[in-house]
Amino acid sequence: MSMETLEFIIYPDGRVQEKVTGIVGKSCAEVTEAIEAQLGRVMSVEKTSDYYALKQQGKVSDSVAATNPQTTWTSW
């Protein structure tokens, strides 16, 4: 099972890039919703194959989850 990770890169112009790894399915949006509300307006969202992946009987493919981070850009 892969580890769930949220990574934030804050650029000098105030943009924030958020990368999410290890979360499969739509639960990623639930995990990041409150954080994004505090950061500001979401400029764009790039959904990866992890977002569209389905959990199979409680088991998630680690190889897919580990290679496809989900990225969100926000602006303060």
pLDDT, tens only, 55-75: 654 544 444 444 445 666 666
Q: From residue 37, how far is each of 4, 42, 70, 71 by CA, in Å? A: 20, 8, 17, 15
Sign of the alpha-carbon dihedral angle for 51, 75, 5, 66: positive
Taking the C-alpha atoms of residue 3 and residue 62, their distance in angstroms, rounded to an integer, is: 9
Question: Could you tell me if 26 and 43 are in contact, meaning their C-beta atoms sit under 8 angstroms apart?
Answer: no
Domain edges within the chain? 5-75
* pTM beyond cutoff 0.75: no
pLDDT of residue 65: 42
